[in-house]
A and B are shown apart, each in its own frame.
Chain A
Amino acid sequence: MNAIHPTVQVRQLSKNYGSVQALKNVDLSIAAGEYFVLLGPSGGGKTTLLRTIGGFHKPSSGQVWLNGQEVSHLPPDKRPTAMVFQAYALFPHMSVLGNVGYGLSLAKLPKAEVRDKSIAMLEMVGLKGYEDRRPHELSGGQQQRVQLARALVLDRNILLLDEPLAALDAQLRKDMCLELKHLQEKVGITFIHVTHNQEEAMTVADRIALIANGELVEQGAARDIYRTPERRFTASFVGENNLLSGTVASVEGDTVTVQVCGQPLSVDRRDLPVSTGATVALSIRSELVEMVPEDGSASSADGLSLAGTYTESVYLGLTLSHRVALSDGTQIVSRVVGESDAPPPVAGSAARVRWKPGALRLHIN
């Protein structure tokens, strides 16, 4: 990755719609050849950010730099970007070949060259033989492949993808995710992909930026975002995390003791500025939590477990989720992979959830 001259740079970008602030001073750098995902809840501002990079929205303040050039004032057709839209963006009165070759025709390339390049690109996306079809004769997945071919044939070094798989069914989405990833590795250009689907994001992304409420909440490698979320919101949105609220009882060196439902929990301080008496949040991924029936042998003294009441188990095929309610009503989920013939505990019986040191994470925001 080229950290000195990023391909895409967004500086203090804000976008307002009347009194609504869709983007709030966003700063972002994306390197050449990176597969970057903008992830977040609906209405969080990720599509606004993507469309502002593409020139479909003018920033209220801040700048967009592409390939080292400030382009905030340029319309979409003057930017070095191509775009794939969510759905229905193929030109219905043109054939598949006409759609793919449209941008090349605008660039006044010779007809033979337009045709050759378009056919080559259709072959790359697996649609050779579909040249003469009309868009309505294609399935949703095929239509999105045509959009991809139409964008990639332009030979631009930044491809923007606005929820490109949202209109596809679950299985096709999974297949297309991998295809997108492999295609990006093949062409080697920068992909910026907007989605609200975390599985899709984890599948394709080199890096993920979490956008919510118009703000860039957190960014980092996909694995880091999942395993070691810095902020509480990230923990709540990515993966299946249990979130707990508590009060800091003591701070000793790198270890913080937090009281949750009257029970002490030990957590790594992570250099966060915490003090005794402060209200903090804790998160732990459900697959790191183990649920055991309470037999009186275990205690909360080590700060790595909580006592509660077993409520139910949910069988999800690949995984089994046990639910344990704490005294304040908070539900803790313990997710285990694999089949078990052991009968679940009786609902209402005492149970304990426990984890290994380092699994719990502290958040102050």
Chain B
Amino acid sequence: MDDYANIWLHRAKWAYLLLVVTTLMTPVFYVMYISFNENGFGAAEYVFTTRWYGLIFADAQLMNALRWTMSLAAVTTVLTIPMALLAAKFYKATRAKVPVVFLLLAPLFVAPDILSAALLVFFKNLNFTFRWLGDQLGVSFMDGWAQLGFTTSVIGLIIYTIPYAFVVILITMGRYNKEQTEAARACGATGWRAFWDIEFPQIRPGVFSACAFTVILCFNEYTRTSLLKGGFDTFTTVLVSQMLNSGMSEQSYAMSSFVSFVAIALIGGIIVFTLLRSEAAARRAQPVAEPGTRSTAAA
């Protein structure tokens, strides 16, 4: 805020921001509120309990769903982040930036349902082709290559998450000065060492943010996992199925709240850590006194 800005306008902007965040987060807070109610959703009487949190680990269906989703998220993150990192490095190096951006962001421009359906058809046809080929060759080892399941779901999630991871990493990479890589090369570093020693430590916050983002996107995903994995046994598909069929159980509220707590703690932790680092860097950037033992210059 500058010296001539209207203080009430400034406060109004903060109030607006708070209102937007509150509106967005209120349903989440409500789920958290319900998760601590002994009588569950819709009950007239609210009795505080943590019992449902103790029971979620006994709910085999929910725990299985959580396991599947965490496995999908872990594998997708491990594969997506290096791919997004390579893509961002390629983008920085190439002169033809527009085609690269278009190709990487293209999955965002197709409606998720359409893209998922297209992938489903693609994998089904591929599966049919592998089976036919196996039959022609008299072998059966190719039969499961394109069968709907974990692998096809991971491919679908990579296509979904890579544009986001690419953008997050690219933003951090934008501040990196490539002369530092050249300086490292001039010091004797190979291309990989220059990246690992010099560039990566500086883009690490972006890479970690992209990892967190990818994990959250995987937890959030319904269409791709339901169509490409089958079984309706991932976290989101189980929750949605419950809601549509029998309504959410108390354990489901507790599990949803638990996942939200973890996500908020993770993202909040990153934000707080980044803010603290920035403040520490700003403090270090203050003028520093000359060392007492400064020798004369080379001259």
Residues of A bordering B, CB below 8 Å: 54-56, 75-77, 81-83, 85-86, 88-93, 102-103, 106-107, 123-130, 133-134, 136-137, 145, 147, 150-151, 154, 160, 178-179, 182-183, 186
Question: Which residues of chain A have C-beta atoms less than 8 A from B281's C-beta?
Answer: 136
Stretch in B13-21, B206-214, B284-292 touching the partner: B284-292
| A129 with B297: CB separation less than 8 A | no
Q: Report the separation of the CA atoms of residues A177 and B244 in the bound assembly, to the nearest whole angstrom.
A: 77
Question: Which residues of chain A have C-beta atoms less than 8 A from B297's C-beta?
Answer: 125-126, 145, 179
| B182 with A182: CB separation less than 8 A | no
Give chain B's interface residue range (CB within 8 Å of chain A). 20 to 34
Determine which of B187, B202, B292, B295 lies in contact with A103 in the assembled complex, contact meaning CB atoms within 8 Å: B187
Stretch in B189-197, B225-233, B234-242, B246-254 touching the partner: B189-197
Closest to B201 in A: A93
| A178 with B299: CB separation less than 8 A | yes
Q: Does B25 contact A (CB under 8 A)?
A: no
Among B177, B285, B290, B297, max chain A CB count under 10 A is at B297
| B293 with A128: CB separation less than 8 A | yes
CB distance from A155 to the nearest CB of B (A): 11
Q: Report the separation of the CA atoms of residues A166 and B201 in the bound assembly, to the nearest whole angstrom.
A: 28
Question: Which residues of chain B have C-beta atoms less than 8 A from A130's C-beta?
Answer: 291, 294
CB distance from A47 to the nearest CB of B (A): 12
Q: Does B106 contact A (CB under 8 A)?
A: no
| B187 with A85: CB separation less than 8 A | no
10 closest A-B pairs by CB: A129-B291, A126-B297, A103-B187, A83-B186, A76-B185, A89-B183, A89-B179, A129-B293, A183-B298, A128-B295
| B186 with A151: CB separation less than 8 A | yes
28 A-B pairs whose Cβ atoms sit less than 8 Å apart in the complex: A54-B186, A55-B185, A75-B185, A76-B186, A77-B190, A82-B186, A83-B183, A85-B182, A88-B177, A89-B180, A90-B180, A92-B202, A102-B187, A103-B188, A106-B188, A106-B193, A125-B297, A126-B298, A128-B291, A129-B294, A136-B281, A136-B285, A137-B285, A145-B297, A154-B187, A179-B297, A182-B299, A183-B299
Question: Which residues of chain B have C-beta atoms less than 8 A from A133's C-beta?
Answer: 288
Q: Does B296 contact A (CB under 8 A)?
A: yes
Q: Does B75 contact A (CB under 8 A)?
A: no
| A179 with B291: CB separation less than 8 A | no
Q: Does B198 contact A (CB under 8 A)?
A: yes
Question: Which residues of chain A have C-beta atoms less than 8 A from B193's C-beta?
Answer: 106
